[in-house]
Structure formats: C-alpha cells, structure tokens
C-alpha cells in the first residue's frame, strides 16, 4: 500500500514538472515583428512645456521571451524606427512634429527594453516595460550627425497569442528625454522633446 501511494505521488509530481516544463517551453523563444505607433511630443524648455502635436512611426522590433515560471516571463529586446529609411534616408525628415511655424524632425529612434510580465490566461500576457532610447531628433533646418537625445522611459502593455506563434500587442509608453540646445532654435535654450506613444504591433514567435 505504501509502495503504491509512493508511486502515485511520484507520478503526480513528475506530471506537474513535465506540465510546467512544457508550458515554459511554449512561452520561451525569439520573436520578430513590426509596430505602428501614434506619438505625441511635448517640448520642455526652461520656462514652459509646449505641445508639438502628433506623428506616427513604423517600427521594427525583435526580442526573446524568457519563461521564468509557468505564469511569469521576462521579455528582452530592441526596437528601431524605419520611417527615415522608407523616405530615402539622408535628407529625409522622418516623423515631423509641429507647433505653428516651428518643426522638429525625429529622424532616427532606437531602443532596448526589459519587460517583466504575468500570464493572466494561456494566451494573454500583461507586462510593464523599462526602455532605454536613443534619438536623432533635430529642429527644422538642423542636421546633426549623431543621436542627440536619450531617454529612460517606461510603459505597460498587453500581448495576445493566436495560432500558437502569432503575437498581437498593444502598448503605451512615456519617453522623457535628456536636454540639448541648438543655436538656431528657441534662441539656443535647452530643450527636451518628450514623447508619449501608443503602439499596436504584430510579431512571429520562433
């Protein structure tokens, strides 16, 4: 009797471990996809915060999901805006934000992120996001040679899995940036072009 119960106990534990390992294996893996974002920009100066309207971007993204347990995962990856290159690269303006006659051109934006998440269902993941972003964002008429703003941002997101390896995501993120100055823009005062983003994306998991 004791031996039978012992075998049953071992069978149950083994089944649970196999089930958990299978779930983790299902969640872990690389993913690659595209996002479409709606972005609003507010430019902070020493005396005011000014709205520079909205714009949109097309973003390539990829990463890896580490399944920590059956329920918890960590997403680690990167993003790269491709609008500038779709417009022809050098000489293009990228995403343009305007306030009256003033314009700011977001030419290049790339980032890396870590996003811990929790599965609220087998196909639904909620996550928080910590993001480092580097931008080449120039006032109209300025052509800087290198990225001139950085950001430590944050966000939240929801991801839905369908057909086993297709991922749909909805995210909100805030990217408060560092400061820089341009002699030909706002009399050379420091500016910080902060972004808020709503992003819808699709990715394929491998």
142-151 pLDDT per residue, tens: 888 788 899 9
User: Is a pLDDT exceeding 60 seen at residue 23?
Assistant: no
Q: Which of 85-89, 104-108, 195-199 has the lowest mean pLDDT?
A: 85-89
In this predicted model, what pLDDT tens digit does every residue of 167-181 receive, in sequence order?
Answer: 999 999 999 999 999
Residue in this structure with the two tokens 């805030």, named with its chain if needed: 174
Rounded CA gap, 27 and 81, in Å? 27
How many residues are listed for the chain in this entry?
A: 206
Residue 83: φ, ψ to 5°? -55, -45
Q: Which of 90-99, 114-123, 154-163 has the lowest mean pLDDT?
A: 90-99
Q: Would you say the pTM of this structure is higher than 0.85? A: no
Rounded CA gap, 176 and 134, in Å? 11
Rounded CA gap, 73 and 119, in Å? 8
Would you state the structure tokens that stand for residue 75, as one six-digit string? Answer: 């997403």
User: Which of 169, 141, 10, 142 shows the shortest CA–CA distance to 75?
Assistant: 169
Q: With beta carbons less than 8 A apart as the criterion, state whether 113 and 127 touch.
A: no
User: Which of 181, 109, 105 shows the shortest CA–CA distance to 143?
Assistant: 105
């Amino acid at each position: 009797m004791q031996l039978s119960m012992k075998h049953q106990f071992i069978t149950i534990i083994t089944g649970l471990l196999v089930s958990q390992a299978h779930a983790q294996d299902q969640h872990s893996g690389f993913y690659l996809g595209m996002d479409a974002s709606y972005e609003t920009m507010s430019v902070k100066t020493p005396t005011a915060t000014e709205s520079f309207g909205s714009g949109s971007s097309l973003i390539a993204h990829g990463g890896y999901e580490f399944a920590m347990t059956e329920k918890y995962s960590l997403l680690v990856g990167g993003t790269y805006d491709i609008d500038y290159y779709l417009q022809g690269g050098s000489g293009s303006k990228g995403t343009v934000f305007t306030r009256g006659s003033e314009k700011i051109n977001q030419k290049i934006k790339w980032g890396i992120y870590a996003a811990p998440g929790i599965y609220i269902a087998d196909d639904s993941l909620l996550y928080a996001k910590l993001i480092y972003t580097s931008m080449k964002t120039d006032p109209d008429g300025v052509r800087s040679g290198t990225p001139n703003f950085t950001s430590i941002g944050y966000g939240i997101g929801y991801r839905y899995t369908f057909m086993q390896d297709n991922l749909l995501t909805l995210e909100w993120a805030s990217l408060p940036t560092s400061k820089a100055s341009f002699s030909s823009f706002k009399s050379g005062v420091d500016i910080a072009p902060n972004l808020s983003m709503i992003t819808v994306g699709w990715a394929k998991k491998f």
